[in-house]
Amino acid sequence: MLDAVMSVFNWLIDAGPTVMLPIIMITVGLVVGLPFQKAFKSGLTIGIGFVGIRLILDFLAQNLGPAARGMAERIGVQLDVLDVGWGSIAAVTWASPIIIFIIIAIFITNIIMIISRTTNTLNVDIWNYHHLAIVGIMVHFVTDNVYLGIAASVVMAATTFKIADWSQPLVEDYFGIPGVTLPTVSATSSMVIAWPLNWLLDHIPGIRKIDFQLDDAQKYLGVFGEQSVLGLLMGTAIGLLADYDIASALQLGVQMGAVLVIIPQMTSFFVQGLMPISQQAQKWSQEKFKGRELFIGLDAAVIVGNQNVINTALVLIPLTLGMALFLPGNRMLPFADLAIITFRIALVVALTKGNFFRNIIIGFVVMAAILYGGSYTAPYLTELAAVVGIDVAAIAGGGAILISSFSATSLTHSLLIFLAFIGPLHITMPIMVIVIAAYWYILGNVKPKKEENNTLEEELQN
C-alpha cells in the first residue's frame, strides 16, 4: 500500500509542478467536500497561475538579468540578487512536493493552539500559509529532512499566531478594526525588531520626545506607489546605468513596468484557486468553535491603506533603493517588492501611533535586515526555484544571477527560524527556545486576555 502511494507520489513529482499542483489541489478540494466541478476548476486555476508566474519570471530574467550584470560591470555595484517579488516566491512555495504536508501541519497547529487556549487567532486563510510554509520547504531543501522541514513551519506558525495575538490591540486601537488579527508574516515579522527597538527609543532621553507626523508624502512621492510607473523608472534607470542607448533603456523600462503589473495578476490566480478550499476551512472551523470568541486571522492587506502607512512606505521606497546601493555586503537589487513595503511597516506605524520619526528609524532597520536576509538566503532560494522549473540563472545567460524577494527568508522572523533549523541543532535549538520564551514571557504577560486590550501599548509607552 505504502509502495503504491509512494510510486504515485514520485510520478507526480517527476511530472513537475504544472501537473502535480492541479492534481493535488483537486484532491484536496474533493477531500474538504467541494463538488468535483469546483475542485477541478480550482486546481486548474492554480496550475495556470503557476505557468503564468513562470512565463513572466523567464521574461524578467531574460531582460533584467543582462542589464543588472551590465550595471554591475560598469558602476561596480554588485547587485546580482534580483528581487522577483513575493508572488513569485509564493509560486515556488506552492509548487513544492511537500507543501501539502506542511499546510496540514500548520492547520493542525492552529487548531491545537486554539483548543489549548494558547492562541485566540483562528487563521484559516490558507493562501497566506505560504509565508509559513516556505521556511519549512527551505529547511527541507537544505537538510533533506522532511520532519525538520515540517517542524520549522510549525514553529513559524505558532510564533506568528502569537505575534498576531499580541499585536491585536494595535489593529483594533490604531486602525479601528475590531475582532481580527493579522497573522501575515510580511507584516508581523517586523514586530520582532520593532518591539525591542521602540522600547529602546522610549528610553533614550531627547529622542523619546521627538514626534512628528507627515501628510504630504503622497503628493510628492506618489509615483513610487504605482507599479507601472515604478517599473518604468527602475527599468530605464538600470538600462542607462548599464550603458544601454536611450531606446533600449526605455524598452527595458516598459518591459519592467509590464512585469510589475502582470506578476500580481498571475498571483491572483493562486488566490482564486485556493479560495474555495479556504472557505470550506472557514466554514468548518467557525462551526467547530461556535461560542468561543476568537479573532479571525486576516491578510494584513486590510491595514495598508492607512495614510500614515502609505506615507511612511513612500519615503522608505527611495530610502531602500539607496540602502541597496550603499549598505556594505548587500547584493539584493530591490524591484518587484518595492511597492509593497507598506506591509512591512503597517504594524510598526500602529505601534508608534504614527510617529513618523520612529517609523522611518524602525523602517530603516527592518528594511536593512530584509536586504541582508534576502542576500544571504538567495543562493538557497534560487536553487529551490530551479528544482520546480524556474531556472533564472540559466535564462539570464549563465551570469550567476540569483533571485530573492522582500518576503520568505528575507523577513527577519523567517530568517531566524530558518537559521535555527539548518544550524547545529544542539546549539541553535536551545537559543531559539530561549528567545521565543523571552518574547512570550514579556509580551504574553503584558497582554494575557482580550479584556486588557490597551495594556500592551501602555506598557510599551511607559
- Interface with other proteins (CB under 8 A): 87, 127-128, 175-177, 179-180, 218, 222, 225-227, 264, 267-268, 271-272, 275, 282, 286, 296, 298-307, 310, 339-340, 342-343
Residue 371: exposure state from Cβ atoms within 10 A (0-12, 13-18, ≥19) = buried
Question: Quick one: which of 343, 336, 64, 390 has its CA closest to 227?
Answer: 336
What is the smallest separation between the CB atom of 177 and other proteins, expressed in angstroms?
A: 7
CB nearer to other proteins: pick between 53 and 249 = 53
What is the smallest separation between the CB atom of 37 and other proteins, expressed in angstroms?
A: 15
CB nearer to other proteins: pick between 49 and 65 = 49
CB nearer to other proteins: pick between 137 and 309 = 309
What gap in Å lies between CA 163 and CA 185, rounded to an integer? 9
Q: Is the dihedral of CA 342, 347, 350, 352 positive or negative?
A: negative
Tell me, what DSSP letter sits at residue 202? H
The answer for residues whose C-beta is within 8 angstroms of residue 51's C-beta and 6 or more apart is: 18
What is the smallest separation between the CB atom of 331 and other proteins, expressed in angstroms?
A: 25
CB nearer to other proteins: pick between 352 and 407 = 407
What is the smallest separation between the CB atom of 326 and other proteins, expressed in angstroms?
A: 26
Tell me, what DSSP letter sits at residue 340? G
CB nearer to other proteins: pick between 237 and 301 = 301
b/e per residue, 151-178, with b = 16+ CB within 10 A?
A: bbbbbbbbbbbbbbbbbbbbbbbbbeee
Q: Is the dihedral of CA 365, 367, 371, 374 positive or negative?
A: positive
CB nearer to other proteins: pick between 270 and 376 = 270
Residue 244: exposure state from Cβ atoms within 10 A (0-12, 13-18, ≥19) = buried
328 residue type, one letter: P
CB nearer to other proteins: pick between 251 and 272 = 272
What is the smallest separation between the CB atom of 299 and other proteins, expressed in angstroms?
A: 5
CB nearer to other proteins: pick between 129 and 244 = 129
What is the smallest separation between the CB atom of 141 and other proteins, expressed in angstroms?
A: 25
CB nearer to other proteins: pick between 72 and 300 = 300
What is the smallest separation between the CB atom of 231 and other proteins, expressed in angstroms?
A: 13
Quote the cell numbers at residue 56.
513572466
H or E stretch covering 122: strand 121-122
| 379 C-beta neighbours (distance < 10 Å), count | 15
| 279 C-beta neighbours (distance < 10 Å), count | 14
What is the smallest separation between the CB atom of 224 and other proteins, expressed in angstroms?
A: 9
List of E strands, 135-200:
180-181
User: In this structure, are residues 420 and 354 in contact, taking their beta carbons and an 8 Å threshold?
Assistant: no
What is the smallest separation between the CB atom of 313 and other proteins, expressed in angstroms?
A: 8
